[in-house]
């Protein structure tokens, strides 16, 4: 009897056919958890700790099966009873332990670190409720708590416990581990998520805003990003961060000692990559532990920590650069506040005339980024343009102080999840043309020779059509929306934020609506899909969702337009939704205001799956454009240096653009009778007013060029030979964006760990 049937018979006393999808899921979960014992932990002397407030891991069943080499066997067994892994995986809850790109990047990195045989764990918090679940009701976003934990999670409770010292009390932590298997690797790593046993989940009854924010003993690990609209909420976030890093620091020191460190040589045993500034308090916490528990002098402790910490910056938006009031830090842990004062004193003594580089500013706020740059050995940006902006403007003072410390590590994506799993048909086509080496080295360049090969183009088109039907089914089940599987699928999926300019695409939709009403009917119908969550405190972002949904309905109700244009807001956008949307897409929207998107990673996923990109020269779009050449990407808009200058000189005036009648009619449609008949007037007027009088992220500056470029792109779609030629050239260049490459770069330049990937490549 086969792998699954036998177990199911023994453990459940049933045949496979008699099992529900949920039971089959449970059986596979148990099987993989047991199987993990056959995979020893990586154990090289030096170990990487990737500390992050977010890990947006997505569902794990199919990914684990793939990485363990079990997928095909299980799939064929399930097929024999008329089921599939995909159906069974529908029973898995997707953990939403992240907000967006930063959390998803951490998840891709864990996959690559394990695949490359690097000894490295993720460390974070086991939030009981991840980022809220988004409901779309009456064209508005509503947020409800997202409970994801249950007996069917991948977590394993460990024996590890630490005491976490807060100001007037101590909390005992408990560690849960989740196994991370590399692709075709024989060892495993772990994601280590800390929790508390004193948590009171009943607090959720008071909602995500009105729960008792002061009861740290009971609320600490309840939510990812708890509401911080009041002071107690802000304090709670610092309590969470300190909890995360105190656990991480204690774990790192314990494990280093187990591997033979005498603590003075900690940097030979551990390297700590901090994912943005959320884990920055690990710097003073390590110093506290080294000085108080290991009796190392302050100067030496500072040196040890400096040699252990590397910091990744993921944004230049000031709202995300954390600055904690010293008074708040005192209330969380006075020793930590004291150490930060000491660290600040050292900076002020060395560089008294550089207030921009101080750890504590004139208002008594501690700058987490500044602290991380002084007291770490590496600072990296996440795409070349982003790193250049850090060096030349945002962090130029630090570049002068520490030449060479700021370095670039262009982001990447794991090919296991984003092509081998999400697009099996396309992966098989690559196998057919390239052999299976691409699955290991991710080199797709040889495909370029098929750019004009009719059979290859046809094979690609057939796969795209199949992926569109899959998306159609998914949306039907997900939210009872029917899309046209024969339309151009045009997708913008990412957090809703003004800098990402979903509002600009919404204004394009107004243009297209007018144009179709005038009689200019697109040859191929167009479906524009948005997905993304708006932070609950970010009102304009919610207004943008509202306006998109109003447009969606105006169009759907208009029989002159609806056969040619459809607009869909995908509810509760998450990793699972992305796995359907990306393979089906023809058009990838990467339209941020230049200089604002640090990298983007969705852009890479779309390119790999055969979509063409419409983009500003921002983040990693610049590198995509360099690789494929200007003829194979649809670029528009102002360049980063022009935008940086406009901000410096206050040179942008939205009203000047609004004064142009062509643009004015589009913007004014937001408050037209048609829109107001369906929409919430307060939301529509607020959005309109914001765009006309403020438009901080300059949606209007590029709107005209955006419209022209979109029209040119849709026209090109009608020439399928030309379009497919570009698609092939894009896919052929996507190998660079494998996160295996990114991790290899981190390891070569920053971590310096042993890796067994050469062996690994040979093995395959």
Residues contributing to the site for ligand 26V (CB under 6 A):
99-102, 105, 225, 276, 314-315, 320, 382, 411, 597-601, 619
Least distance to ligand 26V, CB of residue 743, Å = 14
| Closer Cβ to ligand 26V, 552 or 603, answer by number | 603
Which position among 208, 312, 481, 601 bears the catalytic label? 601
Following CA atoms 590, 594, 598, 599 in sequence, which dihedral angle do they give, to the nearest 10 degrees? Answer: 40
Dist. CA 116–CA 136, nearest whole Å: 41
- Backbone φ and ψ for 147, nearest 5 degrees, come out as -85, 125
- Backbone φ and ψ for 641, nearest 5 degrees, come out as -65, -35
DSSP, res 377: S
Which position among 188, 391, 405, 605 bears the catalytic label? 605
DSSP 3-state of 259: coil
Tell me if 416 sits within 8 A of 183, measured CB to CB: yes
Residue 61 vs residues 70, 73, 576, 607: alpha-carbon distances, Å: 11, 14, 12, 25
For residue 211, give every residue at least 6 positions away whose Cβ sits within 8 Å of its Cβ, in sequence order, or none: 203, 204, 219, 222
601 belongs to the catalytic site: yes
DSSP, res 592: P
Tell me if 212 sits within 8 A of 203, measured CB to CB: yes
For residue 600, give every residue at least 6 positions away whose Cβ sits within 8 Å of its Cβ, in sequence order, or none: 101, 383, 411, 494, 590, 592, 618, 619, 620, 621
| Closer Cβ to ligand 26V, 100 or 522, answer by number | 100
605 belongs to the catalytic site: yes
DSSP 3-state of 170: strand
Tell me if 408 sits within 8 A of 748, measured CB to CB: no
494 belongs to the catalytic site: yes
Residue 478 vs residues 144, 470, 569, 577: alpha-carbon distances, Å: 17, 12, 12, 9
Least distance to ligand 26V, CB of residue 56, Å = 10
| Closer Cβ to ligand 26V, 233 or 525, answer by number | 233
Least distance to ligand 26V, CB of residue 12, Å = 42
| Closer Cβ to ligand 26V, 429 or 627, answer by number | 627
Least distance to ligand 26V, CB of residue 380, Å = 10
Residue 73 vs residues 84, 141, 592: alpha-carbon distances, Å: 11, 42, 43
128 belongs to the catalytic site: no
| Closer Cβ to ligand 26V, 270 or 382, answer by number | 382
Least distance to ligand 26V, CB of residue 225, Å = 5
| Closer Cβ to ligand 26V, 195 or 276, answer by number | 276
Q: Give the angle 569-594-413 at the CA atoms, nearest 5°.
A: 65
Q: 142-165 b/e with 16+ CB inside 10 Å = b?
A: ebebbebbeeebbbeeeebebebb
DSSP H helices, 659-702, are 661-668, 673-678, 681-693
Which position among 104, 133, 391, 495 bears the catalytic label? 495
Dist. CA 18–CA 40, nearest whole Å: 35
Tell me if 247 sits within 8 A of 161, measured CB to CB: no
E strand or H helix that includes residue 459: helix 454-479
Which position among 494, 501, 596, 683 bears the catalytic label? 494
Tell me if 580 sits within 8 A of 468, measured CB to CB: no
Least distance to ligand 26V, CB of residue 359, Å = 20
| Closer Cβ to ligand 26V, 382 or 493, answer by number | 382
DSSP, res 446: G
| Closer Cβ to ligand 26V, 590 or 760, answer by number | 590
Least distance to ligand 26V, CB of residue 277, Å = 8
Dist. CA 524–CA 487, nearest whole Å: 6
CA neighbor of 575 nearest in space, from 10, 131, 174: 131
| Closer Cβ to ligand 26V, 598 or 701, answer by number | 598
| Closer Cβ to ligand 26V, 42 or 312, answer by number | 312
Least distance to ligand 26V, CB of residue 353, Å = 31
Which position among 192, 391, 470, 500 bears the catalytic label? 500
DSSP H helices, 81-131, are 85-89, 101-115
| Closer Cβ to ligand 26V, 472 or 500, answer by number | 500
Least distance to ligand 26V, CB of residue 451, Å = 28
Least distance to ligand 26V, CB of residue 100, Å = 5
Which residue number has the CB closest to ligand 26V? 101
Least distance to ligand 26V, CB of residue 191, Å = 18
Site of tokens 């949904």: 549
Residues assigned a catalytic role: 314, 494-495, 500, 601, 605
């Amino acid at each position: 009897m086969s792998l699954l049937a036998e177990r199911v018979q023994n453990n459940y006393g049933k045949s496979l056919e008699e099992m529900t999808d949920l039971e089959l899921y449970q059986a596979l979960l148990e099987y993989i958890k047991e199987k993990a014992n056959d995979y020893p932990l990586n154990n090289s002397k030096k170990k990487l700790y990737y500390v992050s407030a977010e890990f947006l891991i997505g569902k794990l069943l199919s990914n684990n099966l793939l990485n363990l080499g079990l997928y095909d066997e299980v799939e064929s067994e399930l097929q024999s009873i008329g089921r599939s892994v995909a159906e069974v995986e529908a029973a898995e809850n997707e953990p939403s332990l992240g907000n967006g790109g930063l959390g998803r990047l951490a998840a891709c990195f864990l996959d690559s670190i394990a695949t490359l045989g690097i000894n490295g764990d993720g460390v974070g918090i086991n939030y009981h409720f991840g980022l809220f679940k988004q409901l779309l009701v009456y064209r508005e976003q509503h947020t409800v708590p997202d409970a994801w934990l249950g007996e069917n999670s991948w977590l394993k409770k460990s024996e590890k416990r630490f005491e976490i010292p807060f100001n007037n009390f101590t909390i005992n932590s408990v560690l849960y581990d989740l196994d991370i298997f590399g692709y075709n690797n024989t060892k495993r790593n772990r994601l280590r998520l800390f929790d508390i046993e004193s948590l009171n989940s009943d607090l959720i009854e008071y909602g995500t805003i009105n729960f008792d924010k002061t009861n740290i003993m009971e609320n600490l690990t309840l939510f990812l990003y708890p509401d911080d609209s009041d002071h107690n909420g802000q304090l709670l976030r610092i309590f969470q961060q300190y909890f995360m890093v105190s656990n991480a620091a204690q774990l790192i020191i314990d494990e280093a000692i187990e591997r033979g460190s005498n603590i003075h040589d900690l940097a030979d045993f551990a390297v700590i990559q901090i994912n943005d500034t959320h884990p920055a308090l690990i710097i003073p916490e390590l110093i506290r532990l080294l000085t108080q528990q290991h009796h190392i002098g302050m100067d030496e402790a500072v040196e040890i920590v400096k040699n252990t910490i590397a910091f990744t910056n993921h944004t230049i938006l000031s709202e995300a650069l954390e600055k904690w009031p010293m008074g708040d830090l005192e209330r969380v842990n006075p020793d930590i506040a004291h150490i930060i004062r000491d660290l600040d004193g050292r900076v002020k003594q060395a560089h008294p005339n550089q207030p921009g580089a101080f750890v504590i500013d004139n208002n008594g706020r501690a700058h987490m980024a500044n602290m991380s740059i002084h007291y770490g050995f590496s600072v990296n940006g996440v795409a070349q343009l982003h790193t250049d902006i850090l060096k030349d403007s945002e962090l130029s003072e630090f570049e002068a102080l520490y030449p060479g410390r700021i370095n670039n590590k262009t982001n990447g994506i794991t090919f296991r999840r984003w092509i081998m799993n999400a697009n099996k048909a396309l992966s098989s086509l690559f196998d057919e043309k390239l052999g299976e080496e691409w699955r290991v080295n991710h080199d797709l360049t040889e495909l370029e020779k098929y750019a004009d090969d009719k059979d290859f183009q046809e094979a690609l088109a057939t796969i795209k059509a199949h992926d569109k039907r899959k998306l159609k089914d998914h949306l039907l089940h997900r939210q009872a929306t029917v899309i046209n599987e024969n339309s151009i699928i045009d997708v913008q999926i990412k957090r809703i934020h003004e800098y990402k300019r979903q509002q600009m695409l919404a204004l394009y939709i107004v243009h297209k609506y007018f144009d179709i009403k005038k009689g200019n009917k697109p040859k191929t119908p167009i479906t524009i899909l948005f997905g993304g969550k708006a932070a609950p405190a970010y009102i304009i972002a919610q207004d943008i969702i509202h306006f998109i949904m109003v447009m969606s309905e105006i169009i759907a109700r208009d029989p002159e337009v609806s056969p040619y244009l459809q607009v869909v807001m995908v509810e509760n956008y998450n990793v699972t939704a992305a796995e359907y949307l990306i393979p089906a897409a023809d058009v990838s929207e990467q339209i941020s205001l230049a200089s604002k998107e640090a990298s983007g990673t969705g852009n890479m996923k779309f390119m790999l799956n055969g979509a063409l990109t419409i983009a500003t020269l921002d983040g990693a779009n610049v590198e995509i454009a360099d690789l494929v050449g200007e003829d194979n990407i649809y670029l528009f808009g102002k360049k980063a240096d022009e935008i940086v200058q406009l901000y410096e000189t206050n040179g942008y005036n939205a009203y000047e653009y609004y004064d142009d009648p062509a643009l004015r009619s589009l913007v004014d449609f937001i408050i037209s009778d048609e829109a107001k008949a369906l929409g919430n007037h307060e939301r529509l007027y607020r959005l309109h007013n914001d765009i006309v009088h403020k438009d901080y992220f300059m949606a209007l500056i590029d709107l005209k060029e955006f419209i022209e470029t979109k029209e040119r792109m849709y026209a090109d779609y009608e020439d399928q030979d030309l379009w497919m030629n570009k698609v092939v050239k894009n896919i052929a260049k996507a190998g660079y964006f494998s996160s295996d490459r990114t991790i290899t770069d981190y390891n070569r330049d920053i971590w310096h760990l042993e890796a067994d990937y050469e062996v690994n490549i040979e093995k395959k």
